[in-house]
Amino acid sequence: MKDRIGVFICECGPNIKDAMDIPQLVHFAGHLEAVVLAEPVGLMCAPNDRKKVADTIRRHHLTHVVFASCSPREHEQTFRGVLESAGCNPFMMQAVNLREQCAWVIHDRDQATRKARRMIGAGVQRVRHHAPLTPREIDCRPDVLVIGAGVAGISAARTLSQNGRRVVMVERSACIGGMAALYEDLYPDFNCAACLIEPDLDDVLHDERIEILTTSEVLSVRGTPGNFTATVKQAAPHVDPLRCIGCAACIEACPVTVPNEFNAGMDSRQAIYIPYPGSLPHVAVIDKQNCLQFTDARCGACKEACPFDAVDYAAVPAVRNLAVGAVVVATGFQGFDPGRSTRYGYGTVDGVISAFAFERLVNTTGPTGGKIVTASGQAPDTVAFVHCVGSRTEAFNRFCSGVCCLSAFKQARQVRKQLPETAIHHFFADLCLPGKTAQRFFDGVCAMAGVTLHRLVHPGAIRISAENGRAIVRGTDASGAVQQVDAQLVVLATAMEAPAGTPQTGRILDLGLDDDGFFKEAHPVVDPVAAVREGFYLAGCCQGPKDIPASISQGQAAAGRIMQKLIPGGKITLNPIVARVDPDLCSGCRTCEALCPYDALARDENEACMTIEEALCRGCGICAAVCPGGAISVCHYSADAVYAEIAGLLKPDEK
Amino acid sequence: MGGRPKIALYWCAGCGGCEESVIDLAEDLLTVAEKAEIVFWPVALDARYRDVAAMEDAEIDATFINGAIRLDDHIRMVRLLRKKSKRIIAHGSCAHMGGVIGLANLFTPRQLLECAYRQVPSMADPPGPLPVEGGDGPRMPELLPVVKALDQVVKVDAIIPGCPPPPETMARVIDDVIHGRLPAEKTVFAHRKALCHECPRLDSRPEKIEITRFKRLHQTRWDPDVCFLPQGLICLGPVTRGGCDARCIGANMPCRGCFGPTERMDDFGAGAIACIAAMMAGTDEPALAQLVDSIADPVGLFYRYCLAASVLGTGPTP
The answer to whether residues A271 and A292 touch, using CB atoms and an 8 Å cutoff, is: yes
Nearest residue, CB atoms, B193 vs list A594, A629, A639: A629
Mean pLDDT is lowest, of A203-212, A220-229, A554-563, for A220-229
Nearest residue, CB atoms, A586 vs list B193, B209, B279: B193
Q: Is A629 within 8 Å of B272 when comparing Cβ atoms?
A: no
Residues of B in contact with A595 (CB under 8 A): 278
Long-range own/partner contacts, residues A257-263 (CB < 8 A, 24 or more apart): A258/A287, A258/A290, A260/A367, A262/A182, A262/A360, A263/A357, A263/A360, A263/A366, A263/A367
CB pairs under 8 A between A and B: 74
Given the cut 0.85, state whether the ipTM is greater than it.
Answer: yes
The predicted pLDDT at position B314 comes to 63
Residues of A in contact with B209 (CB under 8 A): 594
Residue B134 has pLDDT above 80, yes or no: no
Residue type, A594: A
Q: Is B242 within 8 Å of A639 when comparing Cβ atoms?
A: no
- How far apart are alpha carbons A528 and A485 in whole angstroms? 42
3-state secondary structure A311-375: ECCCCCCEEEEEEECEEEECCCCEECCHHHCHHHCCCCCCCEEEHHHHHHHCCCCCCCCCCCCCC
B59 CB-side CA count, 13 A: 15
E strands in A54-176: 64-69, 93-97, 136-139, 144-147, 167-170
For the stretch A483-520, pLDDT in tens is 999 999 999 999 999 999 999 999 999 999 999 999 99
- Phi/psi of residue A530, nearest 5 degrees: -75, 145
Residue B79 has pLDDT above 90, yes or no: yes
- How far apart are alpha carbons A106 and A94 in whole angstroms? 22
Nearest residue, CB atoms, B242 vs list A587, A593, A594: A587
B208 touches chain A (CB under 8 A): yes
Residues of B in contact with A591 (CB under 8 A): 238, 275, 278-279
Tell me how far CA of residue A63 lies from CA of A4, A90, A459, in angstroms. Answer: 5, 11, 68
**Interface residue of A587, A607, A623, A642 to substitute, partner B, most B CBs within 10 Å:** A587
Residues of B in contact with A629 (CB under 8 A): 193-194, 238-239, 262, 264-265
B243 touches chain A (CB under 8 A): no
Nearest Cα to Cα of residue A180 among A432, A541, A444, A474: A541
A585 touches chain B (CB under 8 A): yes
The answer to whether residues A330 and A539 touch, using CB atoms and an 8 Å cutoff, is: yes
The predicted pLDDT at position A655 comes to 54
Rg of the Cα trace of chain A?
A: 32
3-state secondary structure B225-272: CCCCHHHCECCCCCCEECCCCCHHHHCCCCCCCCCCECCCCCCHHHHH
Can you tell me whether residue A500 is helix, strand or coil?
coil
- Phi/psi of residue A521, nearest 5 degrees: -85, 160
- How far apart are alpha carbons A325 and A140 in whole angstroms? 7
The predicted pLDDT at position B312 comes to 77
For the stretch A640-654, pLDDT in tens is 999 999 999 998 766
Helical packing angle, A639-650 and A109-127, nearest 10°: 150
The predicted pLDDT at position B275 comes to 95
For the stretch A76-114, pLDDT in tens is 999 999 999 999 999 999 999 999 999 999 999 999 999
Restricting to A residues 499-528, those with a Cβ less than 8 Å away from any Cβ of B are none
Nearest CA in chain B to A587: B197
Q: Is A626 within 8 Å of B265 when comparing Cβ atoms?
A: no
B242 touches chain A (CB under 8 A): yes
Question: Which of the 8 DSSP states describes residue B29?
Answer: H
- How far apart are alpha carbons B170 and B243 in whole angstroms? 12
What are the residues facing A335 on neighbouring strands?
Answer: A496
A516 CB-side CA count, 13 A: 25
Residues of B in contact with A586 (CB under 8 A): 193, 197
pLDDT above 90 covers a percentage of chain B that reads 77
The predicted pLDDT at position A609 comes to 93
Instruction: Determine the distance in angstroms separating the CA of A627 from the nearest CA of chain B, rounded to an integer.
Output: 7
The predicted pLDDT at position B135 comes to 66
- How far apart are alpha carbons A466 and A105 in whole angstroms? 65
Instruction: Determine the distance in angstroms separating the CA of A327 from the nearest CA of chain B, rounded to an integer.
Output: 27
pLDDT, chain A, mean? 95
Q: Is A625 within 8 Å of B272 when comparing Cβ atoms?
A: no
The predicted pLDDT at position B133 comes to 67
- How far apart are alpha carbons B270 and B214 in whole angstroms? 18
pLDDT above 90 covers a percentage of chain A that reads 92
pLDDT above 70 covers a percentage of chain A that reads 100
pLDDT band at residue B287 under the 50/70/90 scheme: very high
- How far apart are alpha carbons A184 and A361 in whole angstroms? 9
Residues of B in contact with A590 (CB under 8 A): 205-207
- How far apart are alpha carbons A170 and A216 in whole angstroms? 6
Nearest CA in chain B to A638: B264
Q: Is A585 within 8 Å of B279 when comparing Cβ atoms?
A: no
If you average pLDDT over residues A28-44, what whole number do you get?
96
Nearest Cα to Cα of residue A236 among A312, A308, A338: A312
Q: Is B194 within 8 Å of A587 when comparing Cβ atoms?
A: yes
DSSP A502-544: HHHHHHHHT--B-TTSSBPEEETTTEEEEESSTTEEE-GGGGS
- How far apart are alpha carbons B98 and B67 in whole angstroms? 7
Instruction: Determine the distance in angstroms separating the CA of A226 from the nearest CA of chain B, rounded to an integer.
Output: 28
Q: Is B197 within 8 Å of A608 when comparing Cβ atoms?
A: yes
- Phi/psi of residue A537, nearest 5 degrees: -130, 150
Q: Which residues does A479 contact at the CB level (< 8 Å), separation at least 6?
A: none
If you average pLDDT over residues B163-172, what whole number do you get?
92
Residue type, A63: T
CA dihedral sign, ordered B301, B304, B310, B311: positive
B271 touches chain A (CB under 8 A): yes
Residue type, B271: G
E strands in chain B: 6-11, 37-40, 60-66, 69-71, 85-91, 143-148, 158-160, 187-188
**Interface residue of B188, B191, B193 to substitute, partner A, most A CBs within 10 Å:** B193
Report which secondary-structure segment, H or E, holds A403.
Answer: none
B311 touches chain A (CB under 8 A): no
The answer to whether residues A280 and A198 touch, using CB atoms and an 8 Å cutoff, is: yes
- How far apart are alpha carbons A223 and B197 in whole angstroms? 29
Residues of A in contact with B202 (CB under 8 A): 588-589, 608
Q: Is B262 within 8 Å of A590 when comparing Cβ atoms?
A: no
The answer to whether residues A632 and A623 touch, using CB atoms and an 8 Å cutoff, is: yes
Nearest Cα to Cα of residue A373 among A395, A357, A386: A357
- How far apart are alpha carbons B14 and B99 in whole angstroms? 8
Can you tell me whether residue A580 is helix, strand or coil?
strand
Q: Which residues does B212 contact at the CB level (< 8 Å), separation at least 6?
A: B232, B281, B282, B291
The answer to whether residues A207 and A432 touch, using CB atoms and an 8 Å cutoff, is: no
Tell me how far CA of residue A333 lies from CA of A171, A201, A397, A506, A608, in angstroms. Answer: 14, 19, 13, 14, 46
Residues of A in contact with B249 (CB under 8 A): none
Can you tell me whether residue B22 is helix, strand or coil?
helix
Instruction: Determine the distance in angstroms separating the CA of A618 from the nearest CA of chain B, rounded to an integer.
Output: 19
If you average pLDDT over residues B152-164, what whole number do you get?
97
Q: Is A594 within 8 Å of B242 when comparing Cβ atoms?
A: no
Distance from the Cα of residue B125 to its chain's centroid: 35
Residue A161 has pLDDT above 50, yes or no: yes
Residues of B in contact with A630 (CB under 8 A): 261-265, 271
The predicted pLDDT at position B316 comes to 43
Q: Which residues does B192 contact at the CB level (< 8 Å), separation at least 6?
A: A584, A585, B241, B262, B263
If you average pLDDT over residues A67-82, what whole number do you get?
95
What are the residues facing A353 on neighbouring strands?
Answer: A491
- For chain B, domains (ranges, CATH) are 6-101+141-188 (3.40.50.700), 195-309 (no CATH)
The predicted pLDDT at position B318 comes to 35
What are the residues facing A40 on neighbouring strands?
Answer: A9
If you average pLDDT over residues A225-241, what whole number do you get?
95
Tell me how far CA of residue B150 lies from CA of A304, A554, B257, in angstroms. Answer: 83, 68, 18
Instruction: Determine the distance in angstroms separating the CA of B63 from the nearest CA of chain A, rounded to an integer.
Output: 29
Q: Is A631 within 8 Å of B209 when comparing Cβ atoms?
A: no
Residues of B in contact with A587 (CB under 8 A): 193-197, 237-238, 242
The predicted pLDDT at position A149 comes to 97
Burial A450-465 (b: 16+ CB within 10 A, else e): bbeebbbeebbbbbbe
- How far apart are alpha carbons B81 and B157 in whole angstroms? 13
